[in-house]
Each structure stands twice: as structure tokens, then as C-alpha cells.
């Protein structure tokens, strides 16, 4: 996405099928401007083929309020650099170019319990202990009422999706399980993702955490893991129903479609 153009429009503009029609339309507009200024609309209307991209009203810009709550201190930054060196081969905590968004739920019932889990610097989970000391987290945490908290700057690596943390922004939703996710969270996720896509044109993929190990999906080409002994864990969050509703809302409200 560049400027106000949607991902869908971007695809249409670059597709071979669209280009000649767009060129024809442009030539018609130029001709109309040069030779018949008073009837340009008529000429353009007659010459330009009907096109959804041209006819559709611009997608609304998302209105998003984000509350900054940075949980990183110097020790956690150092641990993140160690993690990145071990798994991605670069001793930097910088997420230079976000290419995908991964949606999660916390498996905890309240915002406070989620913060209590994410805030300590050091990981407490046995199943991922071999992967490094730094605790898990995500750049964003969305409460049940849709309030959005930013736990780390958008250019910082957070440990949330094995193999993809160096290219993926993470969104955690406060919920014990898939049935506890709220409509307010669905709305907030969609608005935040539309906002992120507008500000980071490099974002191309959107997945639920449960999809991250699916080799048949295009995002899998981005996977990097230099430690062969570090095995991915099986994930079920945030569930297929939430992702289906989220993708539908993104398309309907913001005209956005992402690859998986
Ligand atoms: Zn997850």
C-alpha cells in the first residue's frame, strides 16, 4: 500500500490485465483535457471501461488510538539481541522491515494477568527454554474492550512466533480461549492492522498463530531458524473463526486483502 491506495488496488494497478485499460483511460483523459475541456467528463465516461478500482469510494482511514506501554528495559534488549543472534544470525533487536502480522490470544483471562506474564524480562516457559532467555511478548496487546496497548516500538523484535520474529509484528488479544475473544477486539484488530498496513507498506502477509507452521502458505518462505534443535510448538490461537471474521472485516471495511 502506498499513500491511500489499498492493497487490492495496488494488485490491480500492477496486473497486466489492468495496465492497458488504465493506459487507455489515461490517454482518453489527456485527449479530453487538450481538445475538449468542457466535455472531458463525457469523453472519459464513454471511453473508460467500468472499473471497480476507479468507481469504488476510497476506503476509510482507520481511526486508531494506541496507548504506549513499553515493557523493554536494557536487560531485555540485551537478551533480545542474544536471541536474534542465535536464531537469525544478527545481533540486533531491530525489526527493520515488517513483512507480516501474526494474531494471537494470550490464554489469560485479564489484561493484568497478561501484563504480569509479558512484563518480566526472563522467559518462564519450560517448552521454549532452550530457545533463549528473553521472555515472550508482542508489539501489541488488545484488551477485551478493544483498548490497544503497544508493548514495544514497531521496529523492535518481540518473541512471539518461532521462525518469524525478525519479520513479523505480533498482536496479542486478552482471552483465555477462542470463545472468549470479543467483537470489540475484532474491531480493534482490524483497525490496527489497517493502520499498520498504511504505515508499513512492506506488510504483505496476515496469519493466525495456528497457521505459522503451514508450509503450503506463502508466508512460510520467510521462515528463518538457525538453531536446528529448536523445534516449533503447536499453536491453536486465535482460531480459524476469529481469523475468518477478521479477514472479512478487513476486506469489507478497509478494502484490504492480505496473503497468508
Ligand atoms: Zn500465539
What would the pLDDT profile of 113-150 be if each residue is shown by its tens digit? 999 999 999 998 888 988 999 999 999 999 999 999 99
Distance (angstroms) between ligand 1 centre and the Cα of 104 equals 4
Q: Which residues surround ligand 1, an ion (CB under 5 A)?
A: 104, 209, 237
Q: Are residues 77 and 182 in the same domain?
A: yes
Domain identity same for 219 and 94: yes
Q: Are residues 141 and 189 in the same domain?
A: yes
User: Which are the contacts of 256, defined by CB distance < 8 A and separation ≥ 6?
Assistant: 1, 6, 7, 8, 59, 193, 194, 197, 250
Residues 114 and 211 grouped into a single domain: yes
Same-domain pairing of 20 and 126 = no
Contacts of 122 (CB under 8 A, 6+ apart): 79, 133, 134, 135
* Residue 60 in domain: no
pLDDT at 25 over 50: no
- 43 CA from centroid of ligand 1 (Å): 54
Checking if the pLDDT of 209 tops 80, the result is yes
* Domain-embedded: residue 259: no
Q: How far is the CA of 161 from the centre of ligand 1 (A)?
A: 7
Chain centroid offset of residue 176 CA: 22
79 domain-assigned? yes
What is the 26 CA–ligand 1 centroid distance (Å)?
47
Asked if residue 85 and residue 22 are part of one domain, the reply reads no
Instruction: Please tell me whether residues 211 and 246 are part of one structural domain.
Output: yes
**Residues 150, 51 within the same domain:** no
Same structural domain, 224 and 124: yes
The answer to the question of residue 37 being in a domain is yes
pLDDT for the residue 16? 39
Tell me the sheet residues that pair with 10: none
Question: What pLDDT sits at residue 57?
Answer: 60
Q: Which residue has the cell 490470544?
A: 105
Q: How many domains does the chain divide into?
A: 2
- Residue 73's φ and ψ, nearest 5 degrees, are -115, -175
Q: What separation in angstroms does the CA of 203 have from each of 7, 34, 207?
A: 10, 40, 12
CA of 17 to the centre of ligand 1 (A): 39
Regarding whether 106 and 12 lie in a shared domain, the answer is no
Residue 169 in any domain: the answer is: yes
**Residue 92 CA to ligand 1 centre (angstroms):** 23
| Same domain, residue pair 99 and 198 | yes
pLDDT tens, residue by residue, 63-103: 899 999 999 999 999 999 999 999 999 999 999 999 999 99
Q: At 3, is the pLDDT very low, low, confident or very high (cuts 50, 70, 90)?
A: very low
Length of the chain measured in residues: 260
Domain coverage including residue 29: 7-55
Give the domain CATH number at 138. 3.40.80.10
Amino acid at each position: 500500500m502506498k499513500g491511500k491506495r489499498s492493497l487490492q488496488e495496488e494488485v490491480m494497478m500492477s496486473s497486466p490485465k489492468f495496465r492497458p485499460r488504465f493506459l487507455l483511460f489515461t490517454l482518453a483523459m489527456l485527449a479530453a483535457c487538450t481538445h475538449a475541456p468542457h466535455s472531458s467528463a463525457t469523453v472519459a465516461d464513454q471511453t473508460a471501461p467500468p472499473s471497480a478500482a476507479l468507481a469504488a469510494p476510497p476506503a476509510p482511514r482507520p481511526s486508531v488510538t494506541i496507548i504506549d506501554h513499553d515493557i523493554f528495559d536494557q536487560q531485555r534488549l540485551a537478551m533480545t539481541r542474544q536471541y536474534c543472534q542465535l536464531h537469525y544470525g544478527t545481533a540486533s533487536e531491530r525489526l527493520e522491515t515488517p513483512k507480516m502480522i501474526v494474531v494471537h490470544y494470550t490464554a489469560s483471562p485479564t489484561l493484568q494477568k497478561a501484563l504480569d506474564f509479558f512484563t518480566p524480562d526472563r522467559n518462564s516457559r519450560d517448552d521454549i527454554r532452550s530457545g533463549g532467555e528473553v521472555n515472550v511478548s508482542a508489539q501489541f496487546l488488545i484488551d477485551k474492550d478493544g483498548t490497544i496497548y503497544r508493548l514495544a516500538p514497531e521496529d523492535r523484535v518481540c518473541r512471539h512466533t518461532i521462525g518469524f520474529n525478525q519479520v513479523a509484528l505480533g498482536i496479542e488479544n486478552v482471552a483465555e480461549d477462542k470463545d472468549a475473544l470479543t467483537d470489540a477486539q475484532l474491531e480493534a484488530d482490524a483497525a490496527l492492522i489497517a493502520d499498520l498496513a498504511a504505515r508499513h507498506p512492506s506488510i504483505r502477509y496476515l496469519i493466525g498463530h495456528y497457521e505459522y507452521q503451514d508450509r503450503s502458505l506463502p508466508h512460510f518462505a520467510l521462515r528463518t531458524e538457525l538453531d536446528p534443535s529448536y523445534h516449533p510448538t503447536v499453536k491453536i490461537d486465535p482460531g480459524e473463526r476469529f481469523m475468518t471474521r477478521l479477514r472479512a472485516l478487513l476486506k469489507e471495511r478497509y478494502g484490504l486483502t492480505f496473503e497468508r
